[in-house]
Chains A and B, each alone.
Chain A
Amino acid sequence: MTRSPVSEEELVARYGPHLNEAPPGGWDAGVGPDRVVNTHCCFCGQQCGIKLKVRDNAVIGFEPWYEFPFNEGKLCPKGVKRYLQGSHPDRLMRPLERDPSAPGGFRPVSWDRALDRVVGEVRRIQATHGNDAVAMLSGVSLTNEKSYLIGKFARLALQTANLDYNGRYCMVSAGTGNKKALGIDRASNPWSDIPLADVVWVAGSNVAETFPITTSYIWRARDRGAKLIVQDPRVVPLARTADLFLGVRPGTDSALFGAVLHQLIRHDWLDHAFIDAHTVDFDHAAAAVAEMTTGWASEITGVPAVRIEQAAEWWGTAPTGMLLHARGIEQQTKGVDNVLSAINLGLATGKFGKPGCGVTTITGQGNGQGGREHGHKCDQLPGNRDITNPEHRAYIASVWGCDEAEIPGKGIPAQEIIETIHSGEIKGLISICFNPAVSAPDANFTTEALDRLEFYAAIDFFLSESGHHADVVLPGSLHEEDEGTSTSGEGRIIKINAAVAPPGEARRDWEILLDLAKRLGRGQYFRYATTEEMFEELRIASAGGTADYSGATWERIEDEMGLFWPIPGEGHPGTPRLFEDGRFYHPDGKARFHGVAFRESAEVVDDEYPVWLTTGRVVSQYLSGTQTRRIAGLVDQYPEPLCEMHPRLAEQLGVAEGDRVTVTSRRGEMTLPAHVVTTIRPDTVFIPYHWPGARSANQLTNRAVDPASKMPEFKVAAVRIAPAGGRSHTTDARDLDLTEGRA
């Protein structure tokens, strides 16, 4: 039995997604802005600068922000159209309480009633089942200030250990690998290093669609003559012009990296001085790859041996090089192994701490970098401190003015929270900025779990598909309705400025949390009048930690167009490039090589499920689509999921472009149109994951996790495919009507 109060159709009819097509007043409103606000895009980890045009508390358009150095005015289609999430008909403007008899399944209630209900249910569950039976799930589209606040709110107001964040589904394998190898979880370089690289190696990142602005940095390197290597199961748009393409089978990246290290050793393309002075355990890494010949790797990865040799030669002999990786290698049950084996290549050739040299993740979410540093990860306290370390706990207790014993211990990670909700031990949930109904693997399981909650409160600006399961929905704030800081993928702390105030009765997220804390009787720890006061406390809390923000002020961040952490102490210039002094962040100052043996993914193809499935994103949609599925121009661009497959596979199945196919895994099935292209491996299909319900690719994905990072394996599953009968037309509907807007 589902907890959704009414049918999905009824929920969608009332709460959307509906499409916002035009700015307030329409395209021909003919009015100019009364002010322009310099801020940043609300979407990915690049955090492009943008100017929002504002009139009468509504965002009416945008203007490129040419002066912001990261993107110099450039934007992807999501950035261009982001302003249309404001003044949206689906915007939640009053607190809601589940009521199957009300139209749309929820009835508007007063803030007092909604907040008292949340507090009453939290207290009831905790009194009966213990404090940890209430969990909190949070997201890193939130600012540093909110991330910091949520970490403190969960520990001191909810008094639960079980807080985790949606970076668990994003870049956590990179963070875990970076900490193990380098002692610090941050991109090794500012993006201005990319144009200085002689080799740019993009592994498991569809840069053109997920980090479009980064393509301009890669082209700047190529304009200087750099070689481009792309490693991906698909010929993604950036790969089309690459100098070398490594079309890996999903789940085999560490075999490829291992074979490259084998080649580097075999040809002595090593920086021995760097290895001796700045690293340990090279022997472990060398021993692990001793048998990893290119022939062996070719069998596993499906990449011709000659291409692996070519990649090794270019990487090994180039004076400078950057290896950029993302979810493709990270969202696997060996995501950390993949990251460690990539870092091995950088360490072996001395490609760290110098201009144009680095191995780095491209952080996915807007504040994926900053959000994971300040305490809303289940095992961390602010400043990237360890919640199990007594000294770290004592320091944070001193900042928070609480007894160290009041800070709960290590909680469980996001996927385990969902499993524990499913098994019935966690009975209450508060979520903010997280839509697991779409973004978590094995969607049918996730939905079952949400249905089993005794109480669920969601803070949302639009009613997300997870919110359908909520008992209470609290209308929070959009990105442009609050101020604070974010930290972009390159480690640059930037200032988000409020353009408008929350509409109707909606409130800023932090005001909601402060009110809840007060009603939970813990208001003494949350005496903030402004967001800046939270940042001032964060500066102190982060001081002395790895992610030290103590020298950053809002004023300096704005004046200097961002500051790179670590920035310890007043007047510190910040640290754009890490490891310049040859020191890594382990106590002995040395980086660690890791011996990485190859192992298969949690699920491999067999006679019953003979095709590999990999999932990902398209350029016009962002993550679970809560925002981007509500913007007409973006929906037009890619309206529904398609199953990309090679003509050889299509021929075996007897299907053609547009034919509907049913894709089945051990966990679920979905029916969708085939998109037949030669740009994907013949043994692999790709489905983007931005949609809910019957259109959700996560019905098929595997919730097996990486043992170290607890990242689920979104990128590798085994499926079977059968024609479902019928055709959908995959022509762009916009081509059929060039006349006037929408049909």
Chain B
Amino acid sequence: MTYTSDDAPIFVIDQSRCIGCEACVQACMECGTHRGRSLIHLERVDPASTTQTAPMVCMHCEDPTCAQVCPADAIKQTEGGIVQSALKPRCIGCSNCVIACPFGVPKYMAALDQMMKCDMCTDRTSEGLKPMCASVCPSQALWYGTIDEYNDTRRGSLLRDFFFGRQEVRTKVYTVVDDLSTGPLDVMGGRQRTWLDDPFGLEEAPP
């Protein structure tokens, strides 16, 4: 099962499906270009009150902030728009990119004195294979395939335009949100009450 460039496969993150199992973290280490090092982030959002976890691969911005702020011009994009780890001979280990990335992706590896980051498994995707994390992800919170495959099988709207203050960022990787056809998302607005607010009925009136 391989993809050609005509298939134009996309990478999709659906945080709501993440089960926090860390298969992606473990599998990332097995990737040929950064063996033994995991470059994916898996955040525990608020472990005291929820099992919600959030996997984060590089979003591969069209105009990457990390590259903009790099004083050594060490961060390059491939023709396909993949933002690479800092070039070893150029990287000065300043961590500007680590601080500037709006998604918190780059990792400064002190032992190497180099920034490394998710490169969408270049060794695999260049051969038409899925990246390691999206291959193994048991819940398919991390997903790789064509737009048609996505639309045929999955729920949720795809989003790749973000605003951070006045900065507008368009990414190659998509994230999944509720139905966008009903209008723009108000991420600061309230949400519907669900049983999650009171999973054990501690606040509900006795029957």
Residues of A within 8 A of B (CB): 22, 26-28, 61-62, 64, 66-67, 73-77, 79-81, 208-209, 212-213, 215-216, 219-220, 222-223, 235-241, 244-245, 247, 294-295, 298, 302-307, 619-620, 633-634, 637, 647-648, 657, 676-679, 681-682, 738-741
A739 to B93 Cα, complex, angstroms: 12
- Whether A302 pairs with B200 at a CB distance below 8 angstroms is yes
A64 to B1 Cα, complex, angstroms: 11
A619 to B207 Cα, complex, angstroms: 36
Q: Considering only CB atoms, which chain A residue lies closest to B25 in the complex?
A: A77
Residues of B within 8 A of A (CB): 1, 16-17, 19-23, 25-27, 29-30, 35-37, 47-53, 107-112, 130, 132, 135-140, 153-155, 195-196, 199-202, 204, 207
Q: Report chain A residues within 8 Å CB of B51.
A: 235-237, 239-240, 679
For A212, give its contact among B25, B138, B204 (CB under 8 Å). B138
- Whether A307 pairs with B201 at a CB distance below 8 angstroms is yes
- Whether A62 pairs with B30 at a CB distance below 8 angstroms is yes
Q: Report chain B residues within 8 Å CB of A61.
A: 30
| Smallest CB separation, B142 vs chain A (Å) | 10
Q: Report chain A residues within 8 Å CB of B201.
A: 247, 302-304, 307
Main secondary structure of the interface of B (DSSP, over half): loop
- Whether A676 pairs with B139 at a CB distance below 8 angstroms is no
15 contacts between A and B (CB under 8 A): A64-B136, A66-B1, A74-B135, A74-B138, A209-B19, A212-B23, A223-B155, A240-B52, A244-B195, A247-B199, A305-B207, A307-B195, A633-B29, A677-B47, A678-B48
Q: Report chain A residues within 8 Å CB of B50.
A: 235, 240, 678-679
Q: Considering only CB atoms, which chain A residue lies closest to B52 in the complex?
A: A240
For B139, give its contact among A75, A212, A303 (CB under 8 Å). A212
- Whether B199 pairs with A679 at a CB distance below 8 angstroms is yes
| Smallest CB separation, A673 vs chain B (Å) | 13
| Smallest CB separation, B25 vs chain A (Å) | 7
Q: A27-B36, A208-B21, A247-B201 are in contact. Are A241 and B47 (CB under 8 A)?
A: no
Q: Report chain A residues within 8 Å CB of B1.
A: 66-67, 73
Most buried by A among B155, B195, B196: B195
Q: A235-B199, A679-B199 are in contact. Are A294 and B207 (CB under 8 A)?
A: yes
| Smallest CB separation, A54 vs chain B (Å) | 15
A244 to B25 Cα, complex, angstroms: 30
| Smallest CB separation, B85 vs chain A (Å) | 14
Q: Considering only CB atoms, which chain B residue lies closest to A304 in the complex?
A: B201
Q: A236-B51, A237-B51 are in contact. Are A295 and B207 (CB under 8 A)?
A: yes
| Smallest CB separation, A698 vs chain B (Å) | 24
Q: A294-B207, A306-B207, A637-B22 are in contact. Are A75 and B111 (CB under 8 A)?
A: no
- Whether A304 pairs with B20 at a CB distance below 8 angstroms is no
Q: Considering only CB atoms, which chain B residue lies closest to A50 in the complex?
A: B136
The 5 closest A-B pairs by CB, nearest first: A27-B36, A212-B138, A208-B19, A740-B111, A305-B207
A739 to B115 Cα, complex, angstroms: 10
Q: Report chain A residues within 8 Å CB of B137.
A: 74
| Smallest CB separation, A182 vs chain B (Å) | 29
Q: Considering only CB atoms, which chain B residue lies closest to A46 in the complex?
A: B138
Q: Report chain B residues within 8 Å CB of A222.
A: 155
- Whether A215 pairs with B202 at a CB distance below 8 angstroms is no
Q: Report chain A residues within 8 Å CB of B195.
A: 244-245, 307
Most buried by A among B53, B139, B201: B139
